[in-house]
Amino acid sequence: MNLIFDPSKRTGNSVMATACEETTIWGAGTTRTFRPIWTAEELGVRYNHRPIGPRTGETTTDEYTRLNRKQKIPFLKDASLDLSESVAICRYLVGKHAAGTGFYVPDSPETRAREDEWICYTYGELDETSLYVIRRHEDLKAIYGEAPTAVDSAKAYVARHFAVIEKHLDSNAYLVGGQFGLADIVLISCLDWAVSYRIEMPAALHEYRERIRRRPAYQRAFKTNYQSTKR
C-alpha cells in the first residue's frame, strides 16, 4: 500500500490521492510513526506514505537498509534530506512548514528551550523509560523476555510523571506558549500509548487528551497510521 496525501484535495475530513514524490514518510502502526504523520497532517504537508511495520521484515530489506542503516521507523525523505527519529522528523517539518498555519513555533531562545524541555521530558520519562519498557516485556516478551517487576515499576513511574504534567495542565490549555504545538503531539502520542496499556490517567490529562483527539488532523493521522496494523 502506497498512499499519497494532498491537503488541497480534502473535502471535509476526507483526503484524495495526488502525485507527490518530494516528501515520503516510512512507517506505520506505532506511537513513534504516528508523530510525524500527525505533524504532517497538522501542517498541511503533501506526503507520500509508505506504511511499513517495525517487525514485518520490511525494515531489514536491502532496499530499505540502503535508505536507513538503522533499520528503524519512522523515516523521512524530503528532497535530498534523509532523516530518522520521530522527534527530529517532526521538528524538521515544523521548521519548514509551520509558518502561517497557527501551529506553535517558538520565537526566542527562551521559548525554544521551554518547548525542548517538555519534549525531552515527555520522550525521556514516558516514552523511553516507561512505556517502551512495558512494550518490550509485555508486547514483545517473546523477544525480550518477561519481566513483571520491570513492567510494574514502569507503570508506577508513568503515574509519577503524570502527576507532574497534571499540575501544569491545571492552568494551561497546552504545554507551551498557549497554542497547540509539537510538545502536545509528543505528549498525546504517549498518553494514547498509556491508555492502550490501561494505565490510569488523572482527570486533567484525560480532558486534555480528549479535547486534542477531536482535532481533524489527529483523526486523519490516526486512521493513516493504524488503519492496517496493531500497536
- Tens-binned pLDDT, residue by residue, of the chain (231 aa): 333 334 333 333 333 333 345 899 999 999 999 999 999 999 999 999 999 999 899 999 999 999 999 999 999 999 999 999 999 999 999 999 999 999 999 999 999 999 999 999 999 999 999 999 999 999 999 999 999 999 999 999 999 999 999 999 999 999 999 999 999 999 999 999 999 999 999 999 999 999 999 999 999 999 999 985 544
pLDDT of residue 1: 34
Confidence at residue 6, expressed as pLDDT on a 0 to 100 scale: 40
* Domain ranges across the chain: 3-102, 109-216
Query: Contact 29/230 with Cβ under 8 angstroms?
Result: yes
Q: Which of 42, 25, 46, 76 is nearest to 225 (CA)?
A: 25
Measured at the CA of 95, the angle between CA 72 and CA 103, to 5 degrees, comes to 105
Q: Is residue 187 within 8 Å of residue 175, measured between CB atoms? A: yes
Question: What is the architecture of the domain spanning 3-102?
Answer: 3-Layer(aba) Sandwich (3.40)
| CA–CA gap between residue 152 and residue 150 (Å, rounded) | 6
Q: What is the pLDDT of residue 206?
A: 96
* CATH of region 109-216: 1.20.1050.10
Task: Give residue 34's pLDDT.
Answer: 98
Grid cell 493521522 is found at 221
Query: According to the model, what pLDDT value does residue 142 have?
Result: 94
Q: Which of 231, 172, 161 is nearest to 196 (CA)?
A: 231
Residue 169: the pLDDT is 96
pLDDT at 17: 34
Beta strands in the chain (DSSP E): 3-5, 23-26, 47-50, 75-78, 81-84
Closest CA to 103 of 46, 40, 16, 49: 40
pLDDT on residue 22 = 87
DSSP states of 6-23:
-GGG-BTTB-------SE
